[in-house]
Amino acid sequence: MLDEMECNGLIVQYMYEPVTFKLAEGLRYTPDFMAIYADPTRGCAFFEIKASKFHASGQSNQMNSISKLKVAANKFKAFYFYKCYPRKKSEGGEWVIEPVKI
């Protein structure tokens, strides 16, 4: 997904877990990937990768990371935050990239 974005010139670079956000005292969040957009007016984006679409009945660690992702998106509005998961092969494969709504 990010390789493709880089090849298409949408992003100039991406990195795995390069930063950690301090959300509150004793509460930290490290997104899976950070990407720097080729368009300098867009800055950078953070991507949280999941093995499947998040459901409320999902595993607690997945629910925890999605909760932290939402808090980070609300607190750090200068950045773009996305949650990503693979689309089912029956639905065409590829990745679903959803912006985090605040």
Label each residue of the chain as H, E or C. CHHHHHHCCCEEEEEECCCCEEEECCEEECCCEEEEECCCCCCEEEEEECCCCCCCCCCHHHHHHHHHHHHHHHHCCCCEEEEEEECCHHHCCCEEEEECCC
Residue 83: HSE in the Cβ half-sphere, 13 Å Cα cutoff: 20
The predicted pLDDT at position 37 comes to 96
pLDDT in tens, 27-71: 999 999 999 999 999 999 999 998 776 554 455 566 688 899 999
Query: Which of 3, 9, 73 has its CA nearest to residue 45?
Result: 73
Q: What is the pTM of this model?
A: 0.84
What average pLDDT does range 72-90 have in this prediction? 93
The predicted pLDDT at position 72 comes to 97
pLDDT top residue among 99 and 60 = 99
Taken in order 69, 29, 81, 41, the sign of the CA dihedral is positive
The predicted pLDDT at position 92 comes to 84
Tell me: pLDDT of 13 over 90: yes
Annotate 58-77 with b (16+ C-beta within 10 A) or e (fewer).
Answer: eeeeeeebbebbbbbbeeee
The predicted pLDDT at position 63 comes to 62
Least confident of 9-13, 21-25, 62-66: 62-66
